[in-house]
Chains A and B, each alone.
Chain A
Amino acid sequence: GAGVSQSPSNKVTEKGKDVELRCDPISGHTALYWYRQSLGQGLEFLIYFQGNSAPDKSGLPSDRFSAERTGGSVSTLTIQRTQQEDSAVYLCASSLASGGSQYFGPGTRLLVL
């Protein structure tokens, strides 16, 4: 079956522009996670969705970052007024339930010029 997919795979934008990153989780997975990985760094948790519960946004680095998950499936991560330090690989993962094995998408590589 299909795994987690993300789009676009690469995004180059100018400082100050808004960007939207998309994640399609594995069908039936109730939990969805967003992470960020900067060059040479470990993974940084951003936000978590579980079913219809309110998302945990505790990892979002600033109010320029927001995310939605529509219909318990597709999720969009939005970064407003991008800054150069936002450049990173943004990874999405899903799991059947909270605490289960997480399956990752290929990531979106974001470069802010």
Chain B
Amino acid sequence: KQEVTQIPAALSVPEGENLVLNCSFTDSAIYNLQWFRQDPGKGLTSLLLIQSSQREQTSGRLNASLDKSSGRSTLYIAASQPGDSATYLCAVHMDSNYQLIWGAGTKLIIKP
């Protein structure tokens, strides 16, 4: 059974710092992996999707990497801003399975 883990559960850093959020999964036979952000009281926003054949995806200040063999993905945020404060969730699609298996999220606070 696939399990997705995000550590730490919460992270607080000063504005301007570069930071890395971690996501690990137990079964490497994934179809793809997605990173989302969730703002308080709101729905989820898709940030990046990495196919199983890809190593990384970039969007603006965000870079997501994927290492299937080690069961890990990281979300790198450059030059963090207070507006980046949110909960970041990763989720995986398994082969031939449309369900997303979710991590519990990392709550990120960027201090001005």
**Interface residue ranges, A against B (CB under 8 Å):** 4, 31, 33, 41-43, 45, 48, 50, 56, 59, 91, 93, 98-107, 109
Q: Given contacts A42-B102, A42-B104, A48-B99, is CB(A102)–CB(B46) below 8 Å?
A: yes
* B:64-112 near A, CB below 8 Å: 89, 91, 93, 98-100, 102-105
Which chain A residues lie closer than 8 Å to B100 at the CB level? Answer: 33, 43, 45, 102
Across the interface, name the chain B residue whose C-beta is closest to A40: B104
> For the complex, is B2 an interface residue (Cβ under 8 Å from A)?
no
Compute how far the CA of A46 lies from the CA of B36 in the bound complex, rounded to whole angstroms: 19
In angstroms, how far is the closest chain B Cβ from the Cβ of A77? Answer: 15
Which chain B residues lie closer than 8 Å to A48 at the CB level? Answer: 98-99
In angstroms, how far is the closest chain B Cβ from the Cβ of A87? Answer: 15
Across the interface, name the chain B residue whose C-beta is closest to A43: B102
In angstroms, how far is the closest chain A Cβ from the Cβ of B24? Answer: 15
Compute how far the CA of A86 lies from the CA of B38 in the bound complex, rounded to whole angstroms: 21
Interface pair B93/A99, CB less than 8 Å apart: yes
* Cross-chain contact of B34 among A4, A31, A101, A109 (Cβ < 8 A): A101
> For the complex, is B23 an interface residue (Cβ under 8 Å from A)?
no
Across the interface, name the chain B residue whose C-beta is closest to A105: B43
> For the complex, is B32 an interface residue (Cβ under 8 Å from A)?
yes
> For the complex, is B45 an interface residue (Cβ under 8 Å from A)?
yes
The winner among A56, A91, A98, A99 for most chain B CB atoms within 10 A is A99
Across the interface, name the chain B residue whose C-beta is closest to A3: B43
